[in-house]
Amino acid sequence: MTHSYFEQQCNFKVDYAPTTIKKWKSTRTNLQVTLLDQASPMVNGYFAVATEIMNDSGCPHTLEHLIFMGSKKYPYKGLLDILGNLAFSSTNAWTATDQTVYTLTTAGWEGFRMLLPVYLDHLFNPTLTDSACYTEVYHVDGEGKEKGVVYSEMQGIENQSWFIQTLESQRLLYKKSGYKSETGGLTKNLRTLDPNTIREYHSSLYRPDNLCIIITGSVDETEILDLMAKFDAELPSAPETPTKRPFVDTPQDLPLTESIVKKVAFPDKDESSGSIMICWIGPDSRSTVLDQAIDVLGRYLTSSSVSLFNQKFIEIEDPFATDTGFYTDSYVRTGMTINFGNIPSDKLESFPEKVFALLKEHCNEDQLDLVRLRDLVEQTMWKFVHKAEKSPETLAHIAIYEFEYGEKSGEDLIDYCKTLDEFKELLSWDISKWVEIFRTYYVDNHSVTVIATPSEALYKEIKAENVKILEDRKEKLGPEGLKKLEEKLEKAQAINNKEIPKEILDSFGRPDPSGINFITTESIAAGINKDIENSDSSSVVKVVNDTPKEFPMYIHFENYESNFVSIDLLFSSFELDTKSLALLRVFETLTSLPIEGNDGELIPYDDVVKQIKRDSISYYFGNSFNGRFNEFISLSMVVKNENYQIAIDWFIKLMFKTKFTKERVSVALNKLIKSLPETKRSGNYMLRYLYNKHYYTDRSLLKSSEILENETYLKEILAQIENGDFESIEKQLNDMREKLFTIENTRVVIFGDVNKIANPVSSWEKLVESYPKPSSGKLTDLPFQDKTLSELGISKSKKCFIITTPGSDSSYMDLVTSTPISEYTSEDAFKILLGAEYLQAVEGPFWRGIRGAGLAYGANCYGKTPVGELCYSIYRGADLEKSYSVAKKIVEDFASGKTPIDDSLRQGAVSSIVNKLTENQSNYSDSATSQFYDDILVKRGPNYNTKVMKALSLITNEDLVDIFNKYFINLFNSDKSVCFISCNPAKAEGIEKFFTEQKYEMDVQHIAVEVGPDGEEDYDGSERDDDSYDSEESGSSEEESDIDESSEDEHR
């Protein structure tokens, strides 16, 4: 056994969560290891590096990508990811302003143990070859176009308003430290970044004393320490003179001595609205009490419809903005940011003065609301406890912060994690203390205000400049120069993609999938729920004994140990008239309406919101059941166990006692309408709108509740109200209430600990008695998504739709073909699942051919069985036409046998699916959601995971070839597929020409541009903003994909 230099720095049990935390530090290298021991089938690793840089070169971000290109011990691109795929694991990474964190997520300890030393070798000893830098960072291709994975990623966001604002605020706030830098890299700097600069940056910061390994899950502590001892022995000893800690031992910025206001422009043809960002440097973030107080005050100002800024600026009939938000940056000193979105352009310059005047006016003991502040402290504390109970991820992020900014002794981890003492101290503060902190950090503290204004002139300038740069480059290089660049890229790709010897992969072995322990919950039916047969457990006995005779309501429990209970009331939207669906986003204000009290008096909406927040951990009203089954409308609440009865009381009040008033409906309409300009700047969102518009009928919530779809209608309703006719709108909304909220149309789904809930069933009698009409005894049918498909959604053929989005530089695409509808457990369903994962897996064919060539940031393939769909999607595309052509060739070559199926990649795809299945059930709450979805909603359970794993193990290479021929090649046949694209107007003509050549029937839509103060309207169409409301109060969800495998890689 290798001698261990690791000494334990702390060991403690967290008071409020089922977690034990231990930390060690090597006395030889100063490498740190933190273990968060919490029961879970998933083992997660966070490998944190503190990364300070004083320029915008992007070195931290480039390393986030280049680390995965091979290590000196394992000099093969993708070896880490391919091994991960084979070991039920996934890797990822993110780069923030002050850190780069690499992640390893594994189903079970065995795979994690196998991969950890390999991963760490990549971190400390990467190859960082010229060829890797060329393909991953920046290059020019054979057509003269600028590419590179990092370059394409930054190009996609660099001209967006939030990016421009944030960078400007950093530069104005921070003059001395690396917080001023854009660590992602500006495109102008990525063009000239030299590989040697990246290597020098790596050697200066990727040191043992500047890295912490944080591990969460159910793991063997002895094996961790033994593994780390062996790896630590291979590392160089720490220098005798301690190196400077980034940000801690380098120059630091203090709060400003004078306030600054700066205007910045961002390119957009719609000049009607902009945004404002106000930033401060706050207190030392290591003071947990002060840091938490700053957060609570920020929430007091912005977090919901009853917050100060919302009340004064947003929840009014003529709002100054449609949304406001607050966040902190956990730097040496807490960074504080408040932002406002969708501010009319003619109010942008004067609005900041109103904000500061309100802050000053409110800074006294008469104005600041102590009751509300204490409510927020309680709410913040219980949300934190709820998150910590569900998953150790929250505590893992605190451990990252402690590594970067805490004392070297490691003892700060105890202060940061063990107790809830900082919340308890805040609850003891009197109003004078709150006023003191409010004045110090929000009123007297000097700020940076960045006003972001849209500019059509800048849009046209950038568009013309990009065309000219490309033309000039092509002219300068000429055909011979372009050919040399093409050859240079091909050579670099050939070097990068050299084959990994089979014996290396085989030497690692394969983890045993039987060692993965899936979390399960106990399903219990009550009332008219006939979906399952109950067991005879003590929990079932309690439920049965508490069920009143002939109880007429559908209730379903997923039982597991918890201190919280989650309740979803699910209603089929099919009970609503199709025409009324256009009002759904207004109807969703149900959680922020006045309530009629028992005495007939109206309780003001702000009192209602304050009380519901006081009584709950979170609440939601919108479409879907936890992001799935999107034709459901869900009214949901998470509460402490002791508040179970109170939650039921709230359901009664919200469903039957709320009052739609002219004021609240007008406010909702104004916010929705004024949120449109910002929403239209999102290319990804516009793609979703385009897809839903054509793919579904008016019966679908995804289409008919879409604000863009209903922009004209909503404006007409607002005008109708302003002209004195509110009664007809009120009647429509109340008709929706009457049709939706019937006992036959209510499914009650409860996740939590039945044994800790008093009267789990009989408590619902008061809701039963509240329905205006008695039960007919027949439960409404489930609202299946396939019932809402349009003719195009069924045929999936011939058409290609394009929508132009001036505010986005990237392109987005969904290419869709048909598969069997709702066949979750057929042989073809499992083969499609594996085929899609084979193509889209990290270091798989699409990853190497599309992302690796810099054609797009994300290239994904996934099935949507509920609507019988197979989809190929491009996210942040740099070259959409090539992304299509390359994918087509990849699929056709597999289908024809020209490219053989790789055994290791197939096995890796199987493992990747198993990892995703396990991750989707990594805690009891998520497992309960999956179990209800599998067993009750889509009837693919019980034990769906076991069925998947068994079926995947039997699929052969020949089966994959067959399934590629049967379904996947149809994606690239215009007679058997339909295409949806969102792109910048500058790219529309070329994309339209390309897809016309692919024999699609084209349909190009230009979105509507609002008239700015001095602008003119010049083109046509519509859209919605998911952030129009407090996310806890209302919202909408997109349709689900099989095992949630379509989500984009949001980091590297």
Give the separation between CA 768 and CA 762, rounded to whole angstroms.
10
Residue 804 pLDDT > 50? yes
Q: What average pLDDT score do residues 411-415 get?
A: 96
The pLDDT value given to residue 1030? 34
Neighbours of 740 (CB within 10 A): 20
Please name which of 1048, 912, 846, 886 lies closest in space to residue 972, comparing C-alpha atoms: 886
Residue 573 pLDDT > 70? yes
Give the separation between CA 783 and CA 778, rounded to whole angstroms.
15
In a domain, 868, yes or no: yes
In a domain, 935, yes or no: yes
580: Cα separation from own chain's centroid: 30
Q: Per residue in 231-262, pLDDT tens?
A: 999 999 998 888 999 999 999 999 999 999 99
Report the greatest alpha carbon distance in the chain. Answer: 86
In a domain, 500, yes or no: no
Residue 1024 pLDDT > 70? no
Q: What average pLDDT score do residues 425-435 get?
A: 98
Give the separation between CA 675 and CA 100, rounded to whole angstroms.
34
For 240: left if phi > 0, alpha if psi spans -120 to 50, otherwise beta; the answer is: alpha
Backbone dihedral angles phi then psi of residue 211, each to the nearest 5 degrees: -140, 140
Residue 1028 pLDDT > 80? no
343, 404 Cβ separation under 8 angstroms: no
Supply the range of the domain harboring residue 887: 789-1016
pLDDT-derived band at 1045, boundaries 50, 70, 90: very low
Give the separation between CA 593 and CA 607, rounded to whole angstroms.
10
In a domain, 963, yes or no: yes
Percent of the chain with pLDDT over 70: 96
Q: What average pLDDT score do residues 550-561 get?
A: 97
The pLDDT value given to residue 245? 96
Q: Which residues pair with 21 in a beta bridge?
A: 12, 36
Q: What average pLDDT score do residues 31-47 get?
A: 96
Q: Per residue in 348-362, pLDDT tens?
A: 999 999 999 999 999
Residues in the chain: 1052
Q: Per residue in 966-1019, pLDDT tens?
A: 999 999 999 999 999 999 999 999 999 999 999 999 999 987 655 343 333 332
The SS3 of residue 490 is helix
The pLDDT value given to residue 809? 87
Residue 867 pLDDT > 80? yes
- Lateral strand order in the sheet of 628-640: 522-527, 554-559, 747-752, 564-572, 628-640, 618-625
819, 976 Cβ separation under 8 angstroms: no
The SS3 of residue 979 is strand
Q: Is 1020 exposed, middle or buried (0-12, 13-18, 19+ CB in 10 A)?
A: exposed
Backbone dihedral angles phi then psi of residue 79, each to the nearest 5 degrees: -60, -40
Percent of the chain with pLDDT over 90: 87
Which token pair is 197? 């600069």
Q: What average pLDDT score do residues 375-401 get?
A: 96
In order of 51, 485, 890, 994, the CA distances from 879 in angstroms are 31, 17, 17, 12
932, 525 Cβ separation under 8 angstroms: no
pLDDT-derived band at 747, boundaries 50, 70, 90: very high
Residue 441 pLDDT > 90? yes
Q: Which residues pair with 983 in a beta bridge?
A: 804
In a domain, 243, yes or no: no
Backbone dihedral angles phi then psi of residue 102, each to the nearest 5 degrees: -105, 140
Spell 986-1019 as b/e; 16+ CB within 10 A means b: bbbeebbebbeebebeeeebbbbbbebeebeeee
Q: Which residues contact 924 (CB under 8 A, 6 or more apart)?
A: 390, 519, 521, 560, 561, 562, 751
Which token pair is 677? 């300009």
Q: What average pLDDT score do residues 406-429 get?
A: 96
| H/E element, 201 | helix 195-205
The pLDDT value given to residue 1009? 53
Number of domains, the chain: 1
pLDDT-derived band at 1025, boundaries 50, 70, 90: very low
Q: What average pLDDT score do residues 720-733 get?
A: 96
Name the pTM for this structure.
Answer: 0.92
Q: Is 502 exposed, middle or buried (0-12, 13-18, 19+ CB in 10 A)?
A: exposed
| DSSP state at residue 1009 | -
| H/E element, 275 | strand 273-284
The SS3 of residue 1042 is helix
The SS3 of residue 813 is strand
Residue 1048 pLDDT > 90? no
Question: In CATH, what number is assigned to the domain containing residue 964?
Answer: 3.30.830.10
Q: Look-up: residue for tokens 């106990």?
A: 522
Q: Per residue in 485-544, pLDDT tens?
A: 999 999 999 999 999 998 998 898 888 887 788 889 999 999 999 999 999 999 999 999
Helix 370-390 to helix 393-405 angle (10° resolution) is: 100
Q: Per residue in 839-850, pLDDT tens?
A: 999 999 999 999
Q: What is the mean pLDDT of the chain?
A: 93
The SS3 of residue 483 is helix
Neighbours of 137 (CB within 10 A): 25
In a domain, 38, yes or no: no
Q: Is 876 exposed, middle or buried (0-12, 13-18, 19+ CB in 10 A)?
A: buried
Q: What average pLDDT score do residues 665-670 get?
A: 94
In a domain, 75, yes or no: no
The pLDDT value given to residue 852? 87
pLDDT-derived band at 1042, boundaries 50, 70, 90: low
pLDDT-derived band at 597, boundaries 50, 70, 90: confident
Q: What average pLDDT score do residues 1018-1034 get?
A: 31
Residue 475 pLDDT > 90? yes
More confident residue, 355 or 1037: 355
In a domain, 810, yes or no: yes
